[in-house]
Structure 1
Amino acid sequence: MKLYYSKLSSSMAVHLLLEEIGRPYTAVAMDLKAKDQFHPEFLSVNPKGRVPALVIERGAGKTVVLTEVPAILAYLAQVHEDQSIAPSEVLDFAVAQSFNMYLAATVHIAHAHRLRGARWSDSPDCQHSMAAKVADNMADCMAFIEQHYLKGPWVLGQNYSICDPYLFTVSQWLAGDGVDLNMFPAIRAHTEEMLKRPAVRRIVPLHGQPLGEQVM
């Protein structure tokens, strides 16, 4: 498997899970500020021009490229059932997917309004207005997660799952979005537990943050 990722983007969730699984993979860092994602070589991998992209060999020289964090996390869990990183019961798995889709479809969009406002408006005033709402919107999302999703110590309760690297990744965006992690003690505790995991400690520095700066 080959993962294309960029620092502190949502692709970090996939990077963390790949490392947690412990199976061979290659990671290719993309510099989004340098527009690596728009180079023809990468667009031939993922025409969306986005990360993550996970290239999976299917034999006979054939490959499949998976994109979108929830889909990749679900795939990794299903092909590594021995790792028990996703619920095996159908309804419980749907609950896990509900959480990951909330992060993808609601939280990530709220965060993206800070730096990616041009996706939604050409007006500088509108872009500024969207960015000004990010702190409030992200705080509201974290409050919702803390009240309705995060069971503790892990998202789904006692067992680490595909939901945890994704929540950890999103929590790394909060300081830049103007949100104090200390406002959310359960999410802070989750972050602290994640930082104890060897896989997390190996991957976080690759995303541009020295260990110890995630929880302040």
Structure 2
Amino acid sequence: MIEVYSWATPNGHKVHIMLEECGLPYRVHAVDIGAGDQFEPDFLAISPNNKIPAIVDSEGPEGKPISLFESGAILLYLAGKTGKLLPAGVSAKYEVLEWLMFQMGGVGPMLGQAHHFRIYAPEKIGYAIDRYTNEAKRLYSVMNKRLAKSKYIGGSEYSIADIAVFPWLRSWKNQGIAWNDYPHLKGWFDEIAARPAVKRGVEVLADRRKPLVDDKARSVLFGERQFRQH
């Protein structure tokens, strides 16, 4: 059994979708990041960066328990554990990995900043909004060009690269995106969204998440509470 410590965010949904696609048994533990659950000692013991998601696999390598944090690392672990969603061939595997790193280093951080300055920041800073909205559009363009010549983000087969990217694009409106500008990416998005495992994955903990409308939650995620932990 895999214990999943998570919340209904793009990074959380990556792991929820992966577990559904792989058919692994798992149990979800809600980590309410607006309430500050991510700072609890038990969670920090498995996720020292106080970020979701994290997992504990009671049947890890050599039959021993293992815990992991960072969504990309978890996707790679689950792919290795099951032999699914990561090609065995060397060239194909590294093609998937470079697009996984593209998501981890670009899509997630940059779209996260677009969300922050467009939606959550208490002060609307024009330069920041323009900077990250334009970067979101650039990243969408990169993916659109990729999918003009490749069936999936990571190559010819559906993989962890697609699973990593997809949840971040579900908030395209908040990122200032118009789908008409990215027809190849939109076609891919619709195909991934229709997968049964993806539908199940994005519903995990979705009923628990609430809009960040109060100052306490904003402080926990973006302010003093976040920074005084380090």
Q: What TM-score does the superposition give when structure 1 sets the normalisation length?
A: 0.81
Provide Cα deviations, 1:101-134, integer angstroms capped at 9, x if missing partner: 11111121212224557xxxxxx87976334422
- Number of aligned residue pairs: give it: 202
Instruction: Rate the CA distance shift 1:208–1:161 in 2: closer, same or farther, 3 A.
Output: same
Identical aligned pairs, as a percentage?
27
2:73 corresponding residue in structure 1: 71
Instruction: Rate the CA distance shift 1:74–1:151 in 2: closer, same or farther, 3 A.
Output: farther
1:89 corresponding residue in structure 2: 89
Provide Cα deviations, 1:77-107, integer angstroms capped at 9, x if missing partner: 12211x3x11111222111111011111112
Provide Cα deviations, 1:156-195, integer angstroms capped at 9, x if missing partner: 3442111111121121132212212332111211121112
* 152-161 vs 87-96, greater mean Cα deviation: 152-161
Report deviation, 1:151: 4.2
Q: How does 1:1-216 map to 2 (within 5 A)?
A: 1-57=2-58, 58=60, 62-81=64-83, 83=84, 85-114=85-114, 129-148=127-146, 151-206=149-204, 208=206
> Does the 8 Å contact 1:152/1:186 carry over to 2?
no
Q: Which amino acid aligns with 1:36?
A: D
Equivalent-residue separation in structure 1 for 2:135 and 2:162 (angstroms): 21
Provide Cα deviations, 1:22-63, integer angstroms capped at 9, x if missing partner: 111112222211121112221122111001112122489953
1:133 partner SS: helix
Report deviation, 1:150: 6.4
2:51 partner SS: coil
Provide Cα deviations, 1:133-166, integer angstroms capped at 9, x if missing partner: 2221111011012213664432234421111111
Equivalent-residue separation in structure 1 for 2:62 and 2:79 (angstroms): 24
> Does the 8 Å contact 2:99/2:154 carry over to 1?
no
Equivalent-residue separation in structure 2 for 1:115 and 1:170 (angstroms): 10
Equivalent-residue separation in structure 1 for 2:188 and 2:158 (angstroms): 11
Equivalent-residue separation in structure 2 for 1:91 and 1:158 (angstroms): 12
More helix by share: 2
Q: Which segments of 5 or more consecutive residues in structure 1 lack a partner in the other structure? A: 118-123, 210-216
2:109 partner SS: helix
Q: Which segments of 5 or more consecutive residues in structure 2 lack a partner in the other structure? A: 208-230
Equivalent-residue separation in structure 1 for 2:166 and 2:23 (angstroms): 19
User: Which gives a bigger RCO, structure 1 or 2 (Cα 8 Å, sep 6+)?
Assistant: 2
